[in-house]
Structure 1
């Protein structure tokens, strides 16, 4: 079988790429259905982009690499596509856009678009081998128990990273990158909960509150969730992308409240109230109970000197914790790192040393924040590769 373009991976980036490459394009995936990570995203409603997506929201060894693709296919371009398909959407928080209905609407949009562009989609099809040829590539596929050879001029690596292996993640893109001698940056689980092996937060499982989580590199003000295994929630997932094993993190339980001033005011107004009772006005009661022995919370407000209140506030605003690790790729939303951007053209996503080989989406060393940014990178990088392929005729 001879085609112009073979795209490995029917996820967000792969299907977006196929929409723009035009005819003589085949998209393959080993899953039973396309866009499985789209389907489960955003609680089933797909946080498909972010209104504020820009280069500052991405991690990469080369922070400038993503600029070209993000500028040429923006969040507003994808929003227009979503609206054109009659998909109702809404902003949740911090510019995060979700479908009013189901994530399956985004998958249907992408499948309809790629088919309208003349591309084919084969599911339950795996890659057995890839060879370089004089005119491009020869890929041996395994489909319905039978081998089939496909020759193509362009080969697009859109198989994602290692995150959520139960969804079929395999790291195939990295294996093929090594085969073609493309350098890789270190890969790590990202947007992933922290774990604490002693089960210290088990009594707080399910408790959530706004907090500021930080380390020496950055900080995030979003919700914090205590779990049986440790810490989760948006603030934790965001910080995990900037965290390394053995590093402490700081939790500020009062990021927007002048706690010391509030406690002094309440001491004047009602000093007979227990300190724990007053703190329960600002924090979940379960958390106050948990912190009582840790911080030796006792006595009435009237018994607390200014120095004692300052010490208490310092403890609550600079709670130092040392995670044992993360939940790993099992629950990580994305993979940090990947195919080194130095090996790729930022305009076309084509490998500099292997003409006709492209890498897009999560497979590349570009990782977005939580909140629709990784989907936007999929749309933008898929567009960049797809339009570049179409321009070659």
Structure 2
């Protein structure tokens, strides 16, 4: 006879652990399975090792989905304040970094240890290094789950395996394949919250600027975003770049305003008389990183001129280059460094209240595997907590 549980959760990440904790606290016998050798690997590496675990401003507008209303129910029933209260109950120190983003003061390990402690208290069992085959629905109700360590059975199976990003941590598209097997539509998915790669021309120029960070505005066809941009050896990264990749489509240009906080032409007209003897390069370097200015003006004939000497038409050309710079990415760094998957299991036949499949009783999908993607800034973790909690209340 297979070993029997009330609930089997596949995936020991943020959503899976939250679901298991919630179900365990209801007295359910819960087993969490994961093929990795450690739980919560993405939790540990998130936020530069400090885990941006939620955001103070959780609204549906910060999430992308073919059904923008789907996330509202779960987010409203297990809020950021609920998770913050849990963090506080474990005396984990945290701080707001910017734009409502909450980070651990010390380490992401604090969040993972909190979740594992809660799971232990709720009687949840976690088994690692366990490969799982496609679950089989039992005709009279329930599920059979075959693993590399034997057969199991449960009333409910929860798919919490996320998506393909960061395959070095063991991430795969297993959850999407399972959903497709059971007749669910899989919307086209791709890596997002991911750095851009540059073409050869830009790569040669920008590699010399690697490490330079500056505030800029990035615009694609459907959205603009202001924030920090970081030059890398491969192309562009930084918060503004990661955010805009949620809206960018391959082949689209990205228009960059390198100086979003003031009009350079207007500033030049203002300063050309009072600071007329100042070299243009020096003047720009007071507003923008010097290495960036040197790269921008390399080979430009007006680089050494003063504010008073430079012609208006030449200054207008420079302003155009600063405020409306068109960059055609060669692509992105892909799943290797992406933080999330954009797209995934269609929510059309998933209950927004319980996360249960409307095609197969007792089959649930939570977290990143679903077609719900948050902005950068703790939103994807909050979706994991909220969707996991929603399923955990009913499994």
Give the shorter-chain TM-score range.
over 0.9
Rounded to whole Å, the distance in 1 between the matches of 2:391 and 2:298 is 57
Partner of 2:254: 249
Rounded to whole Å, the distance in 2 between the matches of 1:297 and 1:187 is 46
Partner of 1:185: 187
In structure 1, the gaps of 5 or more residues are none
Match of 1:206, SS?
A: coil
Match of 2:353, SS?
A: coil
Farther off after superposition, 229-238 or 259-268: 259-268
1:196 aligns with one of 180, 195, 198: 198
Match of 1:78, SS?
A: helix
**Does residue 62 of the first structure (1) align with residue 67 of the second (2)?**
yes
Rounded to whole Å, the distance in 2 between the matches of 1:82 and 1:258 is 44
Deviation at 1:128, TM superposition (A): 2.9
**Does residue 317 of the first structure (1) align with residue 317 of the second (2)?**
no
8 Å CA contact retained: 1:129, 1:141: no
Rounded to whole Å, the distance in 2 between the matches of 1:366 and 1:245 is 20
**Does residue 239 of the first structure (1) align with residue 248 of the second (2)?**
no
**Does residue 19 of the first structure (1) align with residue 21 of the second (2)?**
yes
Q: 1:294 to 1:340 in 2, by over 3 A?
A: farther
Partner of 1:110: 115
Deviation at 1:265, TM superposition (A): 2.2
**Does residue 372 of the first structure (1) align with residue 378 of the second (2)?**
yes
Deviation at 1:229, TM superposition (A): 0.4
8 Å CA contact retained: 1:136, 1:153: yes
**Does residue 28 of the first structure (1) align with residue 30 of the second (2)?**
no
Q: What TM-score, normalized by structure 1, do the two folds share? A: 0.95
Listed as ranges, the matches of 1:1-393 within 5 Å are 1-22=3-24, 23-134=28-139, 135-142=141-148, 147-198=149-200, 199-200=203-204, 201-293=206-298, 296-298=301-303, 299-389=305-395
Rounded to whole Å, the distance in 2 between the matches of 1:346 and 1:166 is 31
8 Å CA contact retained: 2:302, 2:310: no
Match of 1:63, SS?
A: coil
Match of 1:338, SS?
A: strand
Deviation at 1:305, TM superposition (A): 3.8
Q: 1:296 to 1:168 in 2, by over 3 A?
A: farther
8 Å CA contact retained: 2:38, 2:128: yes
8 Å CA contact retained: 1:90, 1:97: yes
Q: What TM-score, normalized by structure 2, do the two folds share? A: 0.95
Rounded to whole Å, the distance in 1 between the matches of 2:40 and 2:345 is 21
Rounded to whole Å, the distance in 1 between the matches of 2:302 and 2:257 is 18
Aligned residues: 385
Rounded to whole Å, the distance in 2 between the matches of 1:346 and 1:270 is 61
What is the CA deviation profile of residues 3-52 of structure 1, one whole-angstrom value per residue up to 9, with x for unaligned ones?
A: 11100000000000011112311001111111100000111110000111
Deviation at 1:310, TM superposition (A): 3.2
Deviation at 1:208, TM superposition (A): 0.6
What is the CA deviation profile of residues 330-383 of structure 1, one whole-angstrom value per residue up to 9, with x for unaligned ones?
A: 000111111001020101100111110000000000001111010000000001
